[in-house]
Amino acid sequence: MYQAKTPYAKHALNVVSTFIKTGDVSVLKKQKPPEEFLIRRACFVTLHNSDGSLRGCIGTLEPQYKNLWLEIISNAVAASSRDSRFSPVSPAELEDLEISVDVLSEPEKVSDINSLDPKKYGIIVTDGFIRGVLLPDIDGIDTIEQQISIAKRKVGLSNMLNDDLTFYSFTATRYH
């Protein structure tokens, strides 16, 4: 069975396990968070199968809750049950899940996409109210063009160059 190594990943794993087994995480929401969770930050919770394939990924670009403890709870539940690309995680899958938590910096508007590095920066592509997001340092994504193309495709934006697009970048610290 997968063993989370960091407090953030351990918390996310506990949330997913508790939610899948009981359908209720209210007891976790009521717990007093450890000190390192008291910051207010956006995050993504990513689930992988033991073979490395993606199983779910949901996150926020701006913090929605008063601390990272609650942010992880919300995103872990969503990643395991509401990622539209996948069916909800079943109890039988819990043994094979691997979890990471990406804690994000505040997004910054990008004036020159050529200054970006997909290994270091995540990207947000916006076209009015539509936003496509891709985290940094994803295996197989080696160029900013690949990163932008995937972020656009995720939300149905055409792959043609569009002058109305706005780009934002952010950094993320990944915890396994």
Which of 75, 104, 133 is a domain's end point?
A: 104
What is the domain range of residue 69?
7-104
Looking at the fold, whether 63 and 112 belong to one and the same domain comes out as: no
- 40 part of a folded domain: yes
The pLDDT of residue 160 is 57
Looking at the fold, whether 121 and 86 belong to one and the same domain comes out as: no
Which of 73, 104, 135 is a domain's end point?
A: 104
Looking at the fold, whether 27 and 63 belong to one and the same domain comes out as: yes
Rounded Cα distance, 2 and 147, in Å: 29
What is the count of structural domains for the chain?
Answer: 2
Which of 72, 104, 136 is a domain's end point?
A: 104
Looking at the fold, whether 50 and 119 belong to one and the same domain comes out as: no
pLDDT in single tens digits along all 176 residues of the chain: 678 899 999 999 999 999 999 999 999 999 999 999 999 999 999 999 999 999 999 999 999 999 999 999 999 999 999 999 999 999 999 999 999 999 999 999 999 989 999 999 999 999 888 899 999 999 999 999 999 999 998 888 875 556 678 999 999 999 99
Looking at the fold, whether 92 and 155 belong to one and the same domain comes out as: no
Cβ distance 104 to 41 under 8 Å? yes
- 18 part of a folded domain: yes
Q: pTM higher than 0.95 for the full model?
A: no
- 124 part of a folded domain: yes
Q: What CATH number does the domain containing 24 carry?
A: 3.30.700.20
Nearest to 48, CA basis, from 8, 13, 73: 13
Looking at the fold, whether 84 and 128 belong to one and the same domain comes out as: no
Rounded Cα distance, 80 and 5, in Å: 19
Cβ distance 172 to 145 under 8 Å? no
